[in-house]
Structure 1
């Protein structure tokens, strides 16, 4: 049977594995950081209305530049992000992964480099590799925080063309202070004019504020967002970013024509009409996330401070031990994530009932392992 490596694929793709998390049919799925609350019925009805109207014109291409959607996203960012944003500063694509891909196609590519601070979102190096951009692993502290001086040294040494800062960080959950981002940005511009991407996929769940205000006076800074998490719309596949209008213009050089379907735009616009309701669910999830932190610490697990909708916990002795705990939790009907951080697992904050099931499972597992 032919394998991938038997094909004439690019050398940097040989031996690699595609991104993915287990999709198992279990009672409680807390492994992919999804919002557990279904969309409210009023929003479902509004989506139906908007999609029905869009369907009447599916014989025509959609708005190539998604002007209405970008305008409404800008209004949302202005209202919630602490910084005025215009539609000309916003770009939208099919999930934040396509946003990252377009940015790397524009500012990375063959002969160019990107740096991220590991462990972090595993799609950043994967997309870099897919766009022919060389990837550099930057340092994190043992507690998974980002040391400002170490990050500045890494940027100064490697002089990357693109810098990724994920805050709140996935998979660890901790946030990066604004002063660190400012310092890294200045170092990136001193080494060579470089694009700095702040990935805020989980920022609505944070105890702190968005870093959108840092856009002022920083033309090479991008703040990336998604509607998958806080908006409870993972199935929609809508990501977006805010930046200087020139960055938006540059990305349009590589975007595929009519990349956002009329149905996607209609659905996203409907969701933006129900922002207050959806952010109410976010408040519930933040409370449940904090409860998970408290309960896991009471069980004497090491828990990373979390500003996201998930919690990283451990510490297990070795990779085999980590996966064994993951398997024991799964056997109790709860799916969490073993995503490769040595000694740790990650659990998504679910509904109170789902979180109770998870906590019951880890209590039973801990008791078994202590016997």
Structure 2
């Protein structure tokens, strides 16, 4: 039976009125490059191992899962120790249903009414949305024209607003920009100079970065948190498994707000299977990094401006004409290619796909952006692909 009520007629919280839920378009097109998913399906040996692990877990589904996910946290700690350049114990790791739930739990524990979170926008929009959902005040900090964090302006914002939580996203979404170690240290020190402040470094895309993880910065900094996900590098967006590393006291704090038995036995079993195949999955990451760099080179050769990216996506533009940004997005869609319009004026974002998907995107973007830019032709094929002679194409 359908309801006669509209959302506005319900007694929702005032700060939620007139808002829209988070989400990217899910359209049935041939090339979907709008949600930063890993385009490679899980390898068959891993699929079989997941089936085995889940079958084992299924025998005990009449019982609640391990509430503290000790085995999973132990394996995540081993992964971080091996790849992050810093020893991590399972007591320092917490896992939840996607990095979004991790961030929500952190704001439930350290934000809330009368408290404030600060982030540097444009950045991952869920930071501000989760802040609103937890009734935490939100402050948008400054970025430079090139989308890097202005340290002095950021220090001033921290001193002025005295936030309880500071978000630093590296690599940043949607720009792909990495944040260097010195910047994170400077912002952490500025935050602690005001009052004890949680500094959350969102490293959802760090496996795609040219640089190293900021994980070693945890040493001696109990108010620092490094957040991760298995959605991107592990190609497990459908799993919904996020985690963080921090001082054990931070893990204790989020357990005060987590729901009982929040990670299902099936989720834990699937994540453990994926961690057994880390080397294979990180091999796909190397492919995607090479493809990302090919896309950057090709877009710049076509005359487009591209933000340097350390992620599995690329921000490109710059479309100066009023409405040009959305017009190019629509023209790409008309060519069967879906990219993301994040609302950053003059820019669009494209996820890195398979070589074939990336080539289809580059061919489509030449046609879609042609009216806005003077671009050469014939520069978009992947290495080894058959293509017309470039000199002939450019003549």
Do these two structures clear the TM 0.5 threshold for a shared fold by scoring above it? yes
Contact 2:92 2:246 in 1 (8 A): yes
Deviation per residue, 1:207-262 (Å, 9 max, x gap): 10000000000000000000000000000000000000000000000000000000
SS in 2 for 1:365: helix
Q: CA deviation at 1:368?
A: 4.5
The answer to whether the 8 A contact 1:319-1:342 is kept is no
2:77 pairs, out of 37, 61, 74, with 74
Structure 2 counterparts to residues 180-199 of structure 1, below 5 A: 180-199=183-202
Gaps of 5+ in 1: none
Q: Deviations over 1:286-318 (max 9, x none)?
A: 000001110000111110000000000001125
Q: Are 1:364 and 2:367 counterparts?
A: yes
- Quote the offset at 1:365 in angstroms: 1.9
Cα 1:228–1:370 change in 2 (3 A) is closer
- 1: CA distance, partners of 2:369 / 2:194: 49
Q: TM-score, normalised by structure 2?
A: 0.93
1:38-66 superposed Cα distances (whole Å, 9 cap, x missing partner) = 00000000000000000000000000000
Helix, strand or coil at the partner of 1:92 = strand
Runs of 4+ in 1 over 4 A off after TM superposition: 368-371
Map of 1:277 onto structure 2: 280
The answer (yes or no) to whether the contact 2:117–2:165 under 8 Å persists in 1 is yes
Q: Identify which of 37, 48, 53 aligns with 1:50.
A: 53
- How many angstroms apart in 1 are the aligned matches of 2:312 and 2:210? 11
From 335, 340, 343, the equivalent of 1:340 is 343
Shift of 1:370: 5.6
DSSP 3-state at the match of 1:99: helix
Q: 2:108 aligns with which of 99, 105, 112?
A: 105
* 1:209-224 → structure 2 map (5 Å cutoff): 209-224=212-227
SS at match of 1:255: coil
Which among 4, 7, 16 is matched to residue 7 of structure 2? 4
The answer as to 2:262 corresponding to 1:259 is yes
The structure-2 alpha-carbon separation of the partners of 1:88 and 1:185, relative to structure 1 and needing over 3 Å to count, comes to same
SS in 2 for 1:175: coil
Correspondence for 2:90: 87
The answer on whether the counterparts of 2:34 and 2:351 sit within 8 Å (CA) in structure 1 is: yes
CA contact 2:120–2:168 (8 Å) conserved in 1: yes
**Cross-structure match for 1:315:** 318
- In the aligned structure 1, how far is the partner of 2:6 from the partner of 2:295? 43
Distance 1:109 1:29 in 2: 36
Which residue of structure 2 lines up, in the alignment, with residue 121 of structure 1?
A: 124
* Equivalent residue, structure 1, for 2:292: 289
Match of 1:141 in 2: 144
Partner SS state of residue 19, structure 1 = coil
2:166 maps to: 163
SS in 2 for 1:52: helix
Q: Is the 8 A contact 1:30 1:334 kept in 2?
A: yes
Q: Please tell me whether Structure 1 or Structure 2 has the larger radius of gyration of its CA atoms.
A: 2
Per the alignment, residue 28 of structure 1 pairs with 31
Cα distance change of structure 1 residues 85 and 319 upon mapping to structure 2, 3 Å threshold: farther
Alignment partner of 2:238 out of 231, 235, 239? 235
Task: Give me the whole-angstrom Cα distance separating, in 1, the residues matched to 2:328 and 2:268.
Answer: 42
Q: Is the partner of 1:136 in helix, strand or coil?
A: strand
Gaps of 5+ in 2: 375-395
| Higher mean displacement: 319-328 or 40-49 | 319-328
Map of 2:381 onto structure 1: none
1:199-210 maps to which residues of 2 (within 5 A)?
Answer: 199-210=202-213
Find the residue that maps to 2:113 and give its secondary structure.
Answer: coil
Conserved? CA contact 2:324–2:372, under 8 Å: no
Q: Secondary structure at the match of 2:323?
A: helix
Q: Is the 8 A contact 1:82 1:212 kept in 2?
A: yes
Q: Could you tell which deviates more after superposition, 143-152 or 286-295?
A: 143-152
Instruction: Give the direction of change, closer, same or farther, for the CA distance of 1:322–1:54 in structure 2 (3 Å limit).
Output: same
Distance 2:310 2:373 in 1: 30
